[in-house]
Chains A and B, each alone.
Chain A
């Protein structure tokens, strides 16, 4: 096979991509699951379309990955893996993402800048930096509120500069800091008497010891929600072990085209978990980390399990009553990449008085995609607004989701909706509140 002068795939990659292409029967069932197709109606922005383009790149020496329309089509993929989940032929679309990444890395075309500058990517593992981001975006929101009133997000919609500022400030994930604030918020929604704020009860002895693997973004941006989730796990009988040397899972470095750095982080984690003692599993807080850790494969000393899956399977005390209509949004990394669908629903259904509502298009990505939302601002905002509209259309009092990125994206989408919109909270915070109600009632 003749090597293309401007960019290249190794023979190994070509062979892998070929397998992918031969699996695809072009049925198109992936289209409605793909957020970028749903938002644009443009089939070049669909999994099948992208795969056809890669096929052409493999087969046609005159085709180039630098051709802008081809490049845009491939770059626009969020990587949500909804396509893999619905594909009847089992096309492993994740391979496509890796291959496109490799092609990009081999020859970054000079005329197309990287979507997000590398330094930004690497900083996101830095919790101090993240805390600073959380703080500054909160101040930014305060300023915007001062300038434009309580509906600032809607009012600056359409303005160029202010619109960008508002989108940036509006889509940074946040949740009530103090327990008091959270409880007041949920008490208000449930329109009941106020719940006394306190700590969750701890069982006398933990039933199972597990390694706790926190997400960088969760600890940096939502530190209190992260703490509450840990409390909840302990309440449910987990003995949390945090081995020294636990570090970032390496997903960010891998996405930034730094495989060596990713490998180093992976090795550090594996070394740390080797000392996990009698832990039965690695419980991951963030779904993105969960996928990355799962990707360590055979080298994992312990099975990886998502925090919500662990909670759903635990012999935990009963939740207290929460009379709310709740709409659940599944993060793609949980729903598609890990197949977590039943567990969060089982948890919510276990809360007395709670009515679980399912929005339309549950498998379509909200358009956060981590940093994808920065590189594809308009499309991301469109998808966020669409997702928010569908969630609000359920008539829910409250929206919950287990992922930090989705949380910010949906909060921003709900803020631009006309009329009253329900608030959005981390799933863990709602469960913590339900646990608190059980303890106090």
Chain B
């Protein structure tokens, strides 16, 4: 073995040069640790490749020598994901820091894994874009690490976690072969490899480069600081806020012990005489944000806030976030050690869990300071201890376990964003049932049969058998739709009609952003379209860009494998990185992996109103003022997006008629809309419209529940859903404008300069076939075409053999789906 190790080191040195391979005592000590305070053993060596292609070569050499590989970014993980087992090779990506040019049209960029999260945002800033996931470690943590852990951060309440911002991954497998997950498009149906790899903690593959989705900087930001005399009132106000139709980008709570710590460290001026300080950040168009800030302050005061004040200027806001993001560092000033946790519970359970944490504090006599990503139901209680005091560490860990168990009893998850790593291995079986754990293990064995990629992490190490001891029982699936209003979730059997769910949700001011309400047959959906189909076919709606495809709304599933084994994945929480992301894997897989039995989806605040305008070509417009459709639409889109992500979470739909004769714009106004956004939007469109030879002829407003009535009022075809053809029609970054598909008839725009291109040439969408006809055709198609139609064949570079093996994990007898699916010769 020692000799094999020597041979491997010689080969690696030959590949990387002496500067690329560290074997000194210093490196072996330093790289044995990360930010988790956990230790395991000394690595064999540390490889620091400077070329992307060397990553696969290193993995291949290690695979040949049978040496485990642990990929590492900057070692800022809190769960021990980068702590190597003894004798493993640490593959550091810190020198892979190339950033491609920003494709501002597609809002995408290619980054190597060693690029720092904050450096990426600085790189995109000149284009008015940023990378939305912002873990507190963002100044130091790398994109590779963010992907491996599926990192979150304060701002993922509205904008989503890392998995929502991936377009494609280039990665190498356990054998050292390079693959890709597909074209760098925003939404792709099929087996979601990027979703599976994201959050797999380096146990399935090593990312060598990533195509990332960038998000526009908001035009205006307001940050509110609320003081709550009661922590419970603070936590319960979060759901109230969301149900009032307000969707801030971040809602954070700092409890009193944490506020005291932060104050002592940074002296920002946080109030320390209240039980909770809440930070709420709203972003979007200036007018809308001002209105929403006032509404938010009102809601918070009614919910028990003693005082609500605005952060004065950008500088103060920055200082406030600095304080929040460095809060855990400040803990180091008070106690030498702490147990970090990131349990997550459904929003409605937040107050209850806070009560239980108080009990734990008293029962175990420990100091606990907590910072919450409250909007996500994600808590970071830090249990202080001093390892040099007898019994202190044991007590702290017992207290931490008590909190984890309390969170699990409330339907939560052991980890929302830090990952399982080494730290939470013991707690994973408390959450997972044996069947699911077995599936996770099977997935791991498919990707890494010899267990060489980051062994001993992320998955329970105990042998998994049916009914194995120590695992949680399979939770019972719902028998009918269950709405949990204060958690903003709906749990329903897969056979529940989607339209029914929408009607009930809308009555409570919430909705699933799929389809539009009020249409004759219900939401532009075929009456028979079920929640399960929406997931299988990766259904979307006008607002999918606000991370609202079914992929982004799905939180939890009950399903059975092809050979009839029931399993359960996910949890009814907004963030969850416990185990591989089977939930996303099943989304869009068209029922080819498992039969969905039931699912839980996230409800979002429904828009308040819908505004629509019809623009027509001016008769007197000279020909020169009638540019090609692409130019006109492009100019209008630019006007829409120019104020940053504008419109504060509103959505807009644009549509153009044949011969560029007319154009319609519809705004779905989020929040307590006073019409200011509508006015602002119209103002923004005025000039480019005139330049394009268009003038406003119709302006209509409808309550959101009757939004679809706008279509006949504006004289446009009814809006319908599309589950097809977009892979080919999405703009792909890095190809330049010349490679864009033809200008579509309908654009759906929300929060981002991204565009959904619905089928251009499909006859049913043309006005001649009538509004109802188009919707019906699409809805029918969604329902009917499933089984017979093959999923799109994967693009070149996608490991088809892995997709097939993955299918066999779930469906060993190949009974699910039609015969045409990833034929044996697909990967040539």
Contacts and interface: CB of A to CB of B under 8 A. Distances in A.
Interface in A45-92: 46, 48-49, 52-53, 56, 63, 67-70, 72-73, 86-91
A313 interface: no
Interface residues of B, number: 41
A53 B29 CA distance: 7
B230 to A, nearest CB: 28
A41 interface: yes
A22 interface: yes
A24 B118 CA distance: 22
Nearest to B78: A27
Nearest to A51: B30
B25 interface: yes
Q: Which of A43, A56, A90 has most chain B Cβ within 10 Å?
A: A43
Given A29-B140, A31-B74, A89-B332, A69 B95 contact: no
A269 interface: no
A41 B26 contact: no
A88 B328 contact: yes
A1 to B, nearest CB: 14
A86 B122 CA distance: 18
A181 interface: no
Nearest to B22: A42
Contact of A27 (B29, B137, B333): B137
Contacts of A6: none
A94 interface: no
B329 interface: yes
A23 interface: yes
Interface string B753-771: 0000000000000000000
A89 B333 contact: yes
B26 A29 contact: no
Given A44-B22, A70-B25, A49 B137 contact: no
A32 interface: yes
Contact of B29 (A26, A41, A56): A56
Contact of A67 (B24, B74, B75, B97): B24
Contacts of B331: 25, 89
B24 A44 contact: yes
A32 B24 contact: no
B417 to A, nearest CB: 15
B94 A41 contact: yes
Contacts of B74: 28, 31-32, 43
A360 interface: yes
A26 B94 contact: no
Given A32-B140, A43-B94, A52 B265 contact: no
B76 interface: yes
A27 B330 CA distance: 11
A22 B336 contact: yes
Contacts of A63: 25
Contacts of A49: 26, 30
Contact of B95 (A41, A86, A90): A41
Contacts of A53: 26, 29-30
B326 A29 contact: yes
B140 A89 contact: no
B46 to A, nearest CB: 8
B177 to A, nearest CB: 25
A376 to B, nearest CB: 14
B526 interface: no
B29 A52 contact: yes
Contact of A360 (B27, B34, B122, B265): B122
Contacts of A28: 34-35, 74-76, 137, 140-141
Contacts of A29: 76, 137, 139-140, 326, 329
B258 to A, nearest CB: 13
Interface in B234-277: 265
Given A43-B92, A52-B33, A88 B122 contact: no
B114 interface: yes
Given A28-B137, A41-B94, A44-B24, A23 B31 contact: no
Contacts of A67: 24-26
Q: Which of B27, B35, B265 has most chain A Cβ within 10 Å?
A: B27
A245 B44 CA distance: 58
Contacts of B328: 25, 27, 88
A68 B328 CA distance: 34
B225 interface: no
Nearest to A30: B140
B332 A88 contact: yes
B548 interface: no
Interface string A375-399: 0000000000000000000000000
B355 interface: no
Nearest to A26: B35
B116 A89 contact: no
Nearest to B327: A88
Nearest to A52: B30
Nearest to B323: A88
Interface in B92-117: 92, 94-95, 97, 114, 116
Contact of A26 (B25, B26, B33, B119): B33
A73 B327 CA distance: 29
Contacts of B92: 41-43
B37 interface: yes
Contact of B30 (A27, A43, A68): A43
Nearest to B96: A41
A41 B114 contact: yes
Interface in A243-258: none
Interface in B138-197: 139-141
A41 B332 contact: no
A24 B25 CA distance: 21
Contacts of B94: 37, 41-43
Contacts of A87: 329
A316 to B, nearest CB: 25
Interface of A: 22-32, 37, 41-44, 46, 48-49, 52-53, 56, 63, 67-70, 72-73, 86-91, 360
9 contacts: A25-B331, A28-B74, A28-B140, A32-B139, A32-B140, A49-B30, A56-B29, A69-B27, A89-B329
7 closest A-B pairs by CB: A88-B329, A69-B24, A89-B332, A41-B94, A88-B326, A69-B26, A25-B332
